[in-house]
Amino acid sequence: MRIVTCDAEQGLVFRNREGIVKVFFEKLEYVEVINKTVSFYLTDGTVREVTAALGDFEDRLLARPEFLKIHRSYLVNLNHIEAIDTNGIVTKSGHSIPLSRLRRSQVQDVYVSFLNREKTKTDIQTTTPDCTKRADGAWRILLVDDEPSDGAFWADILRAHGCMVQFVKDGETALELASKEQYDCVLLDVMLSGENGFYICEKLHRMTSAPVIFLSCVTEPDRQVEGFAAGGIDYITKDTSAALFWAKVETRIRLSVSERMKVSYGALSMDLTQRRVTVNGNEIFLTPVEFDILWKLSEQTEHIFTPEEIFGAIWNGQPWDGGQMVQTHMSRLRRKLEKACEEHSYIETVWGQGYRFVPENSVADFK
């Protein structure tokens, strides 16, 4: 089997025994895998089969909010569910799909959330902003779980509430992403291959202020205490209902965001809401670009930002100018900071690499 292409707006295109086949997302009722055959059940009664693994299509489908993995062998289109009963899921065309009893309530919660979101989508777009939106977009969540079906399930719940989810399967990849990207929350499985979640959490705290919430099938109190000791802000067991899961995540993000609105690094303080910077109580008047650069660098105190990274973050979409704008604004920003505080240089040049924010103390003090 070879996937020819994937039209993100319309459907999947792949090659099977029949030739080149296109499966439209809107007409795809559910997907089943048995042995090495993946079957696509369409709303018109057609079944398209291909010799492959479910994983060959899983990421593409689960990136869309209407698809949910309900079983290791099944994906279903939420738009085509007629009912969820004690025997499983019944589609609008009458097909019955098995569903684990342990996950029935969670799947029901996801389905209800999906229906509510679809019903109110137009109103949300034309009235007040979505509750999961920041000033610069939707909440961004890093989800770390080495069990693909579990990770896909939690990701579906988050996406149903409007979040952007980056799903990875190991701690090292999570650390690499956290060193480059900004997230509003990290959901971290405890039982990871390689280093466990507690160890990864401790390393995450050195590079991001995002709250870390543990996800685990381990329910023993001693393990939960260990999670809090490692720096986790909450501990959610995997038998938690979808509604409670989302309530905890939303609350933790909101509290964390509100705490991050004012941040201090020794004598330097930043009010992220009013976009004001003070040193020893005296305001430094920065241009909007200078403030954005300082904010960007201060979010990851151990990260060396290349000129290209800074340019991409501040002047997103503009063609790269070779670093002239970054150098010009950086020089002005550094002169203002050095004038305000002769004892400490908050921005350090790492020759041949870029720039790094250096706080007076190793950990930011949040107010």
In CATH terms, the superfamily for domain 2-99 is LytTr DNA-binding domain (2.40.50.1020)
Q: Where do the domains of the chain lie? A: 2-99, 136-259, 262-366
User: Yes or no: is domain 262-366 CATH 3.20.20.30?
Assistant: no
Cβ-contact 175, 197 below 8 angstroms: no
Specify the pTM.
0.45
Give the per-residue pLDDT at 116.
64
Tokens 């063609």 belong to: 319
Residue type, 269: S
CA distance 164 to 355: 28
Identical fold between 2-99 and 136-259: no
CA distance 80 to 22: 19
Reported as type and span, the H/E element at residue 350 is strand 347-350
Spell out the per-residue pLDDT of the chain, length 367, in tens: 444 444 445 788 888 888 888 888 889 999 999 988 999 999 988 999 999 888 888 877 877 778 888 888 888 998 899 888 777 898 988 888 888 777 777 788 788 777 765 554 433 333 333 444 454 457 889 999 988 878 888 888 888 888 889 999 888 999 988 888 888 899 999 888 878 888 888 888 777 778 899 988 877 888 888 888 888 888 888 888 888 888 888 888 887 766 656 778 888 888 876 678 999 889 998 887 888 899 889 888 778 999 998 888 887 667 788 888 899 999 999 999 989 888 888 899 998 899 999 887 533 443 3
CA distance 89 to 156: 17
In CATH terms, the superfamily for domain 136-259 is Response regulator (3.40.50.2300)
Cβ-contact 245, 223 below 8 angstroms: no
Give the per-residue pLDDT at 265.
85
Using a 10 angstrom Cβ sphere, with 0-12 exposed, 13-18 middle and 19 or more buried, the burial of residue 130 is middle
CA distance 244 to 63: 23
